[in-house]
Chains A and B, each alone.
Chain A
Amino acid sequence: MTNWIKRLHTWFGLVNFVILLIFGVTGLLATARRPGEQKQPPAVVTETAFTLPPGVVSDRDAADAIRRRLDIPAAGFNFRRDERNLLVATYYTPSGPRRVTLLEKQGLLRIETRRNSIWQYFSVLHETLPREAGDVRIRLWGYYTELSSWCLLGMSLSGLWLWLSSRPRLRWAWASFLAGSGAFALLWLLSR
């Protein structure tokens, strides 16, 4: 049994190798960030020709048609009418938000692209889950984050088993475990 748990522990870790690094980097970024700090990357504005496909009536369908036409890997989007009554849709992608204004009479799309830094990109990737699926690429990444959360649980539980079954009397191991779980328990109590 312990051999199989060891094997599973190894496999969970190998499946999770990349995303564990992403989780680690994201956590370090969160630690270094000031509260409320959110740097907005500069926008690059482009325009492209666009005509709404026939049959599109609602603004939601129009925003979705724009997403498909521009091939935006959006985890989600919202839309509104601006003060000139133009449809403005904002698409949230891991590499940064894109705001698209539909200039229907001119047959144009005005696209503002803000590109996240590579660190912000990793941060957004780590929170992309399958329920936000609108695009197949996002959905595929979401499956990986979903799998990784199950693997995290599996790794933690199998790791505890392997410790207790192989080296239960190691004092430094107990000290590490009690430091981590003790800090968690104390902060949990203080936070409630």
Chain B
Amino acid sequence: MHRWLRNLHLFAGLFSAIMTLQYGLSTLFMSHRSWFGEPKPLISEASYSVPAGSAGSARSLALHLMDVHGLRGELRQGRETENGFVLRLALAGIQHDVEYSRASGQAKVKTTRRDSRQTLIAIHHMGGVRFSNWVNNAWGVLVGAVSVGLIVLAVSGIYLWFKLKRERTAGALILAASLVYSLTLIAILRNA
């Protein structure tokens, strides 16, 4: 049992290690923006001709831009405007904002490539497996697996600590302080 749990803890930890580092780092990026300076996204613009038959809706326009012009991402915020359509195609590291004009038959595409820090923050907010884009779904699967990993790590970690007889006293004090602090606040904030 002990050996099995020790291996499980190790394997779950190693599988989750990079994502856990990512969560820790991106949380610091979000909570201490002033430490890290302004983000530096790369912004570029392009214009594409779109045949009227391919621009019957925001969705068909998005499909055309993906098939013919190689844009990628999850279709978000697609809506009709007075002149045509606006839509957004987004992945964690890149975002295309499209404005299509029926009169000119042109789609103006503003592409924002996030820097590494912004990409880490975007990955922090990924979750779910019901997107139309498979890359975002794959992130969702990874987030789900790591979430299970975190629960396994927490529970198996308690068992492994308890088996370390020399660490019991100090560990018990730390665990008790942590439990009292966190559970008290959880109860207070829930009922306030």
Determine if chain A interacts with chain B: yes
User: Which bracket fits the contact residues of A?
Assistant: 35 or more
User: Known: A24-B154, A149-B31. Contact between A183 and B17, CB under 8 A?
Assistant: no
Q: Is the CB–CB distance between B17 and A160 below 8 Å?
A: yes
Q: How many residues of B contact A (CB 8 A)?
A: 74
The answer on a CB contact under 8 Å between B175 and A140 is no
From B182, which residue of chain A is reached at the shortest CB distance?
A18
| A27 / chain B contacts, CB cutoff of 8 Å | 127, 143-144, 146-147, 150
Report A92 CB to chain B, min CB distance, Å: 12
Once the chains bind, are A190 and B24 in contact (CB under 8 Å)?
no
Residue from A28, A159, A167, A185 in contact with B17 in the complex, judged by beta carbons closer than 8 Å? A159
Closest Cβ–Cβ distance, residue A21 to chain B (whole Å): 5
User: B149 — which chain A residues lie within 8 A by C-beta?
Assistant: 24
Nearest A residue to B27 via CB reads A149
Contact B135 A191 (CB under 8 A): yes
Interface membership of A42, Cβ < 8 A: no
State how many angstroms separate the Cβ of B18 from the closest Cβ of chain A.
4
- Our pick among B19, B24, B91 for the contact of A153 (Cβ within 8 Å) is B24
User: CA–CA, A121 to B192, complex, Å?
Assistant: 12
Q: Given A11-B174, A144-B182, A145-B27, A93–B189 Cβ distance below 8 Å?
A: yes
A 151-192 to B, binary, CB cutoff 8 A, 1 in contact else 0: 011011101100100010010110011011101110110111
Stretch binding the partner chain, chosen from B45-53, B58-66, B100-108, B157-165: B157-165
Q: Chain B: which residue is nearest A146 at the CB level?
A: B31
Of A7, A13, A156, the contact of B157 (CB 8 Å cutoff): A13
A95 and B143 contact, Cβ closer than 8 Å, known pairs A17-B175, A144-B181, A180-B15:
no
Number of A-B contacts (CB under 8 A): 218
Within 8 A of A (CB), among B114-150: 114, 119, 123, 126-131, 135, 138-144, 146-150
- The answer to whether B68 has its CB under 8 Å from any CB of chain A is no
The answer on a CB contact under 8 Å between B182 and A180 is no
- From B17, B139, B148, A191 is in contact (CB under 8 Å) with B139
Given contacts A144-B182, A144-B185, contact A24 B151 (CB under 8 A): yes
Q: A31 contacts which of B114, B135, B140 (Cβ < 8 Å)?
A: B140
List the B side residues contacting A183 at CB < 8 Å: 138, 142
CB nearest to A157 among chain B residues: B21
Alpha-carbon distance between A184 and B20 when the two chains are bound, in angstroms: 11
B154 adjacent to A21 (CB under 8 Å): yes
Minimum CB distance partner of A70 in chain B: B192
Contacts of A157 in B (CB 8 A): 21
Bound-state Cα–Cα, A26 to B11, Å = 21
Other than the given A118-B190, A187-B135, 19 more pairs (CB < 8 A) read A7-B167, A10-B160, A18-B183, A23-B147, A32-B128, A71-B192, A73-B189, A94-B189, A125-B186, A125-B189, A138-B189, A156-B13, A159-B17, A173-B10, A176-B12, A184-B19, A184-B22, A191-B119, A191-B123
A selection of 28 A-B contacts at a CB cut-off of 8 Å is: A7-B170, A10-B171, A13-B157, A14-B171, A17-B158, A21-B150, A27-B127, A27-B150, A30-B143, A73-B188, A94-B189, A95-B190, A146-B31, A149-B27, A152-B27, A156-B21, A159-B13, A177-B14, A179-B15, A180-B16, A181-B17, A184-B18, A184-B19, A185-B18, A188-B123, A190-B138, A192-B92, A192-B119
Chain B positions within 8 Å of A, measured between CB atoms, are 7, 10-25, 27-28, 30-31, 74, 91-94, 113-114, 119, 123, 126-131, 135, 138-144, 146-151, 153-154, 157-158, 160-161, 164, 167, 170-171, 174-175, 178-179, 181-183, 185-186, 188-192
